[in-house]
Amino acid sequence: MRFIVRLFALIGLFGVLLTAGLVLLAIKAKDKQPTLPQAVVLEFNFERPLAEAPGEDGWTSLIGNRRGSVREVVDALEQASRDPRVKGLVAKVGNASQGIGTTQELRDAITRFRATGRFAYVHAESFGDAGSGMSPYYLASAFDQVWLQPVGTVGITGIAVTQTFFRGALDSIGVQPQISKRADYKTAAETFAEKQATPANREMTESLAGDLYDQMVLGIAEGRHLGPDAVKAAIDRAPLLDSEALADKLVDKLGYLDEVETAAKERAGGKAAGADTVDLLSYGKIAGSAFGQGPTIALIVGEGEIVRGGKDKSAFSDEASFAANRIADAFDTATAQPGVKAILFRVNSPGGSPVGSEVVRHAVDRARAAGKPVVISMGDVAGSGGYWVAMDADRIVALPGTLTGSIGVLGGKFVAKGLADKLGVGVDQVTRGANATIWSPASPYTDSEAARQDAMLDAIYTQFTDGVAKGRKLDIDKVRQLAKGRVYTGRQAKDLGLVDALGGYDIALQQVRQVAGIPSTANLHIIQFPKPKSGYEMVLDLLNGNAAAQMASAAEARGAEKVLADYGPLLDMIQPVVRAAKRQEQVLMMPDLGVNGAGR
């Protein structure tokens, strides 16, 4: 009997291994790409949101729901501009999915692509529709032909910054915000601490909105070969009907997406000549990176809120990850590689934990001390902690529209004693230590606790301003004057000395060449740290049980329903393998169970 059980166990084991092997082969086959035709028109939907770094989609990459990244789009366009098979680009846009900084990065890449003699057509069903179409049209203006679907509108209505203040609502329910800031322009907490914008808030917001508006007007004017006054006049009359946009030379043709694609193929040589459309990201995988052999540059990406700790990014999370220890480990790993000549650190973060930010800043210092220059490339935002991690780098590069700075700090708590009283909830505390209730929402700060809170904020603010003065080689009095928690555009920050150059990845790589002593004409070999897991590796994680723990963590962070909705198809595919593996484990335990009488 045991022989038969073991025989079936062996057969079952081979079955599980065969099934797992087929899954792995399917994943590897999925990565194989077809060859390219001799005449290619690239296509891409810019309404799709983009991550900052390749490989940040986890399991979504295995079920056809991959986002793609800014880096991949820019790299693919760079490679395509050198490929004689690529004749042009046809894209779709219409609704905003990128920030202004990212939009500028994409505009620059499209402009460089066109500068090689290739064409770029863009189509929109409507720019903005019921919302603002300013940002998507700003992107579209970098193309040499803009098509609009009939009945669509061009909603370039300008820039509106709406702030909501909840202090009155909190007062009405008995919740008291006790928040301190360093200094006047550190306005993030005003949402809860004020009933309307403070004068400093209003001043800063006016400055940001004004500069971003000017940048977009000038970009549209240059792209459409119009005067800035003509663009401003069109904005003041928007939303524009399709016929009005055509008359104002904001669009070139009215038509449908299939008509744009046909026109693009005809310009590329027609179907008879073998012209065909290929997705931009698929092309990038087929053609390979534009950056091949040459000095090795490490690319590290920090995106999202900066948090303490964290080693590995969950494969079941498509959220941005800026875990301090994960980024610091990436720096240490890259620094230990003898072939790495420099580190390019892409930062897109509104800030977060001061402690986590300091962990990353120190990792930057360690890399530089080991002889690895560090260049920062800023995305949509590098505020507060996002600037803290950058201030010691050899060079800082921001896009003109990057929200930069906010050199400041805030902290505090919400006291809910009044709310508890209104609800009839009694609260009693027993304490030992003068400042035991400093974090408690049940009571306001005592004088001693308020003093300690101020001391912590003062210390962090002093360390921040001193660090900026040292890292940026600026006079400390100047730093104190321009700090105060104020946010600047990248263009303003450049004038103030907070950044060294304006641009995206291409300008940042120029800076890398300069600080690393690499000739400007030399090719670069760019390697991402930490290396994204391949589909093959993720399946291995699944089979050894790591994926289950990652999914549980993701479900806790994002909600089980959303995780199951995102990954249900994948789970359906692999569940038979998992169930078989579990059955196999139980079968192999049969001899031990037999000792207790089971299976005899």
The conformation of residue 225, written as its DSSP 8-state character, comes to T
pLDDT value for 533: 62
Phi–psi pair at 57, nearest 5 degrees: -100, -5
Q: Is 191 inside a domain boundary?
A: no
Residue 166 counted as domain residue:
no
The pLDDT of residue 220 is: 98
> Is residue 370 included in any domain, yes or no?
yes
Could you say which of 473, 493, 528 is where a domain stops?
528
Residue at which a domain ends, from 227, 258, 286:
286
Query: In sequence order, what are the residues at sequence separation of 6 or more whose Cβ sits closer than 8 angstroms to the Cβ of residue 174?
Result: 416, 417, 418, 419, 420, 421, 422
Residue 552 confidence (pLDDT): 52
| Residue 54, amino acid | P
- Average pLDDT value for residue range 502-525: 94
**pTM of the predicted structure, to 2 decimals:** 0.82
Residues serving a catalytic function are 186, 384
Q: Say which DSSP state 434 is in.
A: T
pLDDT in tens, 69-96: 999 999 999 999 999 999 999 999 988 7
Measured in degrees and rounded to the nearest 5, phi and psi for residue 529 equal: -125, 135
pLDDT in tens, 227-256: 999 999 999 999 999 999 999 999 999 999
Considering only 259-263, 451-455, 576-580, which range has the smallest mean pLDDT?
A: 576-580
Q: Are residues 401 and 524 in the same domain?
A: yes
In tens, the pLDDT along 184-209 reads: 999 888 999 999 999 999 999 999 99
Q: Are strands 409-415 and 176-182 parallel, antiparallel or unpaired?
A: antiparallel
Cα 590–595–598 angle (5° rounding)? 55
Contacts of 186 (CB under 8 A, 6+ apart): 406, 408, 409, 410, 484, 485
Confidence class for position 584, pLDDT limits 50, 70, 90? very low
| pLDDT (0 to 100) of residue 234 | 97
Residue 118 sits in the same domain as residue 264: yes
How many angstroms separate the CA atoms of 135 and 45, rounded? 15
Residue 390 predicted with pLDDT over 60: yes
Q: Is residue 415 assigned to a domain?
A: yes
Does residue 282 share a domain with residue 304? no
pLDDT at position 313: 53
Is residue 389 pLDDT above 80, yes or no? yes
Within this chain, do residues 148 and 249 fall inside the same structural domain, yes or no?
yes
Confidence class of residue 38 from pLDDT cuts 50, 70 and 90? Answer: confident
Residues 416 and 475 in one domain: yes
**Residue 65 in tokens:** 């729901």
Taking only the tens place, the pLDDT of each residue in 337-388 is: 999 999 999 999 999 999 999 999 999 999 999 999 999 999 999 999 999 9
Do residues 151 and 276 share a domain? yes
**pLDDT tens-digit readout, 414-423:** 999 898 888 8
In this prediction, residue 523 carries a pLDDT of 87
Model confidence pLDDT, tens digit, residues 296-330: 999 999 999 999 887 655 544 445 579 999 999 99
Query: Using alpha carbons only, what angle is made at residue 171 by residues 165 and 172, rounded to the nearest 5 degrees?
Result: 105
Per-residue confidence at 567, pLDDT binned at 50, 70, 90? very low
Tell me, yes or no, whether 541 lies in a domain.
no
Residue whose token pair is 């060859």: 35
Residues 447 and 515 in one domain: yes
Output the DSSP codes for 147-183.
Answer: EE-TT--B------------HHHHHHHT-EEEEEEES
> How large is the average pLDDT for residues 214-224?
97
| Contacts by residues 11-14 (CB-CB < 8 Å, ≥ 24 positions apart) | 12/580, 12/583, 12/584, 12/587, 13/584, 13/588
Q: Are residues 423 and 321 in the same domain?
A: yes
- How many domains are there within the chain? 2
Please check whether residues 82 and 128 belong to one and the same domain: yes
Judge if the upstream peptide bond of residue 287 is cis by omega within 30 degrees of 0: no
Contact 389, 366 (CB under 8 A): no
Cβ atoms < 10 Å from Cβ of 66: 20
The answer to the question of residue 32 being in a domain is no
Model confidence at 578, in pLDDT bands (50, 70, 90)? very low
Check whether residue 341 and residue 468 sit in a common domain.
yes
Q: Is residue 444 located within the same domain as residue 469? A: yes
Q: What percent of the chain has pLDDT over 90?
A: 65
pLDDT (0 to 100) of residue 222: 97
pLDDT of 526 > 60? The answer is yes
Q: Where is the domain boundary, 528, 554, 588?
A: 528
Domain that holds residue 266: 39-157+238-286
Q: Residue 570 falls within a domain, yes or no? A: no
What 3-state DSSP class applies to 59?
helix
* Residue 214 covered by a domain: no
CATH of the domain at 362: 3.90.226.10
Same domain, 305 and 281: no
Give me the mean pLDDT over the 50-65 stretch.
61
What integer pLDDT is reported at residue 270 of this predicted model? Answer: 60
Give the pLDDT confidence score for residue 288 in this predicted structure.
75
Summary mean pLDDT of the chain: 83
pLDDT of residue 600 exceeding 60: no
